[in-house]
Amino acid sequence: MSNKQPVPVGYLQLIRNNPNFRWLWFGQIISLLGDWFNLIASASLISTLTQSGVALGSLFVVRMLAPFLISPIAGVVADRYNRKLILIVSDVVRGFTVLGFLLVREAEQVWLVYVLTAVQLALSGFYFPARGAILPDIVSEKELGTANALSSATWSVMLAMGAALGGFVAGRWGNYAAFTIDAITFFISASFITQIALQVTHNPAADRTVAAALQEYLNGLRYLGQHRNVLATALHKIGIMLFTGAAFDVIQVRIAEAIFSVGREGSAGLGWLFAFTGIGTGIGPMLVRYFVGDDPRSLRRTIFLGYLICSAGITLVAPMFNFPTILIGTLIRGLGVGLIWVFSTQLLLQMVPGKVLGRVFATEFALMTLGGAAGATTIGLLLDSSLSLTSLLLGMAALLLLPGTLWLVWLRRQEKVESLV
């Protein structure tokens, strides 16, 4: 790819002139709306039935661990088969899976929540690498940065809207209404994706054996090992998820239920917390990209700034003075997370060739979910200890500076190398 960056198109221009992206975007909007309904409802259901920090943390562990285990297969599938078909099948099967949550009524049935969550998120392990890898198939090079920023901002906006609406629905009509709506959104999303006219086809390789698939995945890992700049960029999401991702989500549930309870079992308050996270992650990348564009060096530097902002937001939340202060801190944290998330994805889209992009995204997704599982497990255990929420949050803010510092050291080293070329 040329070092000269093409002039990016505008957001409205992309939506208006590219029908393939428009259908993919519509599907993303409706599907993500249901996803956040599901997260709040399942977390609220487990917390209400068990009253256990470990049980609640285990939900987030399952949400992270399932896609991690499936990622080697998912990455090969995304590079070997038609990505449009992968998205449709994943949506439809997830829709039927979510309907199974309606069966959970007693504490003795909580195990079913974990099983169904594992199936749902394993399917998401196929969906997200395919969705990330399909972008270069349906947009031009000059549209790529805009498409990535808009998709990421949509994730954030739907987090805000979906979490707020999900909290309202669960708080008003109960968790089972939220599960039903989530299932319906998957089916609608699949219908939108069927409208995409995909020009690039990924035909199955001649050798379909498990050994051949494993070899393809290992080739993807070898690619990361040979391209250290790609590997360093792909490690950002595991840093985010390990030190503040799923772990912060678990703490938010406890805050909403035990500290500032709003709505039935704190569902409405939890919705507000996720909503402000979504606002932060959506506004940050959209505004900052206006100034830095898609220039790789500017994107890399802004990622470091994202770590500082994220840590500052968590520090503001830690004293828990009042609910409005917590919401502001949550928004600031979300702004920092959004900068790291969106700009690291954009760098990967610019650096990685399409033939291996699915495996790179799958590996990144695997590392991210592994980090999230570790973070959720640790916080789940610590919530049942004598440590206060304030102490946990301050520790989280301090630890988050570790990957930020490592990135800064790497960045300085890379810029010195580039200046010598």
For residue 386, name the pLDDT band (cuts at 50, 70, 90). confident
CB 335 within 8 A of CB 283: yes
In this predicted structure, what is the pLDDT of residue 421? 54
DSSP secondary-structure letter at 293? T
Which option is the CATH number for 12-420: 3.50.50.60, 1.20.1250.20, 2.30.40.10, 1.10.760.10? 1.20.1250.20
Average pLDDT, the chain: 83
For residue 199, name the pLDDT band (cuts at 50, 70, 90). low
Which pLDDT tens digit goes with each residue over 276-316? 887 888 778 878 887 887 788 899 999 999 999 999 999 99
For residue 264, name the pLDDT band (cuts at 50, 70, 90). low
> Residue 164 carries which side chain, given as an amino acid letter?
A
In this predicted structure, what is the pLDDT of residue 1? 43
In this predicted structure, what is the pLDDT of residue 327? 92
Q: How far apart are CA 323 and CA 328, in angstroms?
A: 9
In this predicted structure, what is the pLDDT of residue 2? 45
- Is pLDDT at 85 greater than 60 in this prediction? yes
> Can you spell out the DSSP letters for 78-101?
HHHS-HHHHHHHHHHHHHHHHHGG
266: left (phi over 0), alpha (psi -120 to 50) or beta: left
Distances (CA, A) of 130 to 118, 202, 252, 342, 360: 19, 11, 30, 17, 11
- Is pLDDT at 3 greater than 70 in this prediction? no
Prediction pTM value: 0.73
Q: Which tokens sit at 216?
A: 């393809």
pLDDT top residue among 199 and 272 = 272
